[in-house]
């Protein structure tokens, strides 16, 4: 008789050995509860110009359309919490996840030895891995696999770790013992909702078309003049995570590729606003910031200087 729990435990132990923060398992089934939520979100236009969010609708909801015959979804978390901060408090800000090398490449590289281990342990297995790189509803799978719950800001929160981690998945046709889904521990807290300067967050929902991360990363056109106060965020935004009480449990990552360049952290506000394309290419080689390109970053910086970006950090509810 096959011991499914033993299979799962061996995979989890290997994941921890490889440096993953957490690993859980869910049964590969149709995400019945997610279907109406996703459809409603898209119909309300909350994806903004992110038209790709409406592509492969059926595939997003059923992992068996990605890996035929899939029986399990392994969900994993990879810590990126970084303690070093930008030295000039007036400097335009980067989301913490963008301090180091592009996480897509780093995390996927960590998944490869885990997949090799699965093959060595259990024979030929059909499987594919993903790191925010395919139509996979990673937050839903993380909750189902017990990694953490989706907070009111919709980021996945894990007790004892907070939310500063990347999610990734292995979809495979190997039967494993599923974990119990994570339960919600937000309670009556609404700090993330109250702190969002563009009112993008409602309880357990985000209007992507209002989010600072959307404006500074995803939007390809000019930022609307009425987009609101970005609180000096030039690429991404961490406000909803910074104010979350659970992130007092965040601990520094152990991934060298996520360490920021000292010269990036030392940039003054004037140096940011005077950045040339040559310096941009040098500072952000291999970085997620490359996604917005030099022209996009210049657009963001110009918006920050447009006259609505001079409120203090006290207004965000942060210390």
| pTM (two decimals) | 0.91
In a domain, 141, yes or no: yes
Q: Would you name the residues annotated as active-site residues?
A: 132
Verify that 10 and 123 share a domain, yes or no: yes
**Which runs of consecutive H residues, i.e. helices, occur in 145-230?**
191-195, 212-213
In angstroms, the CA 86 to CA 97 distance is 13
pLDDT bracket for residue 54 (50, 70, 90): low
Query: Is the same domain home to 147 and 24?
Result: yes
Alpha helices in 187-289 (DSSP H): 191-195, 212-213, 239-242, 262-265, 269-273, 277-283
On whether both 289 and 236 belong to a single domain, the answer is yes
Better-predicted residue by pLDDT, 254 or 49: 254
Tens digits of residue pLDDT in 91-148: 999 999 999 999 999 999 999 999 999 999 999 999 999 998 778 999 999 999 999 9
Which pLDDT value is given to residue 308? Answer: 52
Angle at 278 between CA 273 and CA 283, to 5 degrees: 75
Whether residue 260 lies inside any domain: the answer is: yes
Boundary of a domain, candidates 139, 172, 205:
172
The two structure tokens encoding residue 32: 């019945």
- Count how many domains the chain has: 2
Clarify whether residues 64 and 162 are in a common domain: yes
| Whether residue 203 is found in the same domain as residue 155 | no
- 166 and 195 in a common domain: no
Where is 40: in which H helix or E strand? Answer: helix 34-43
- 1 pLDDT band, cuts 50/70/90, is low
Residue 55 has pLDDT above 70, yes or no: no
Classify residue 179: in a domain, yes or no: no
Q: Which of 109, 144, 172 is the last residue of a domain?
A: 172
The whole-number average pLDDT for the span 56-83 is 93
Domain membership of residue 43 as a residue range: 4-82+101-172
In this structure, how many other beta carbons lie within 10 angstroms of the beta carbon of residue 245?
Answer: 13
23-43 pLDDT, tens digit per residue, is 999 999 999 888 888 778 778
List all residues 6 or more positions away from 278 whose beta carbon is below 8 Å from its beta carbon. Answer: none
The chain-wide mean pLDDT, for the chain, equals 92
The predicted structure's pLDDT at residue 34: 85
Mean pLDDT of 159-165: 97
If asked whether residues 235 and 263 sit together in one domain, one would say yes
Mark whether 13 and 154 lie in a shared domain.
Answer: yes
- Distance (Å, whole) CA 44 – CA 62: 23
267 assigned to some structural domain: yes
Q: Is residue 205 part of a domain?
A: yes
Residues 159 and 114 in one domain: yes
Q: What is the pLDDT of residue 35?
A: 80
* 189-242 residue pLDDT tens: 999 999 999 999 999 999 989 999 999 999 999 999 999 999 999 999 999 999
**CA–CA gap between residue 303 and residue 299 (Å, rounded):** 6
Looking at 118, 137, 172, the residue that finishes a domain is 172
Q: How far is CA 215 from CA 146, 220, 238, 254, 287, in A?
A: 32, 8, 14, 30, 18
Q: What local confidence, expressed as pLDDT, does residue 319 receive?
A: 35
Q: What's the pLDDT band for 313 if we cut at 50, 70, 90?
A: very low
């Amino acid at each position: 008789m096959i011991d499914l729990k033993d299979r799962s435990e061996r995979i989890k132990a290997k994941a921890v050995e490889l440096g993953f923060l957490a690993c859980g398992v869910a049964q590969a089934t149709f995400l019945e509860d997610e279907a109406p939520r996703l459809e409603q979100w898209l119909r309300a236009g909350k994806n903004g110009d992110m038209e790709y969010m409406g592509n492969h609708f059926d595939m997003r909801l059923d992992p068996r359309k990605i890996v035929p015959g899939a029986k399990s979804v392994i969900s994993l978390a990879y810590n990126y919490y970084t303690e070093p901060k930008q030295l000039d408090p007036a400097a335009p800000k980067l989301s913490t996840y963008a301090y180091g090398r592009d996480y897509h490449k780093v995390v996927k590289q960590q998944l490869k030895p885990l997949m090799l281990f699965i093959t060595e342990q259990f024979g030929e297995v059909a499987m594919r891995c993903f790191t925010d790189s395919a139509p996979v509803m990673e937050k839903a799978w993380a909750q189902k696999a017990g990694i953490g719950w989706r907070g009111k800001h919709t980021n996945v929160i894990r007790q004892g770790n907070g939310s500063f981690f990347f999610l990734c998945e292995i979809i495979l046709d190997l039967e494993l013992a599923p974990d119990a889904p994570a339960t919600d521990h937000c309670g009556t807290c609404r700090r993330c909702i109250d702190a969002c300067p563009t009112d993008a967050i409602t309880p357990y929902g985000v209007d992507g078309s209002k989010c600072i991360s959307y404006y500074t990363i995803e939007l390809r056109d000019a930022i609307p003049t009425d987009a609101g106060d970005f609180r000096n965020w030039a690429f991404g935004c961490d406000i909803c995570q910074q104010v979350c009480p659970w992130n007092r449990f965040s601990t520094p990552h152990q991934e060298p590729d996520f360490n920021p360049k000292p010269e990036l952290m030392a940039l003054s506000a004037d140096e940011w606003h005077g950045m040339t394309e040559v310096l941009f290419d040098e500072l952000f080689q291999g970085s997620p910031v490359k996604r917005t390109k030099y022209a996009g970053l210049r657009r963001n910086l110009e918006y920050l200087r447009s006259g609505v970006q001079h409120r203090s950090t006290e207004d965000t509810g942060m210390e």
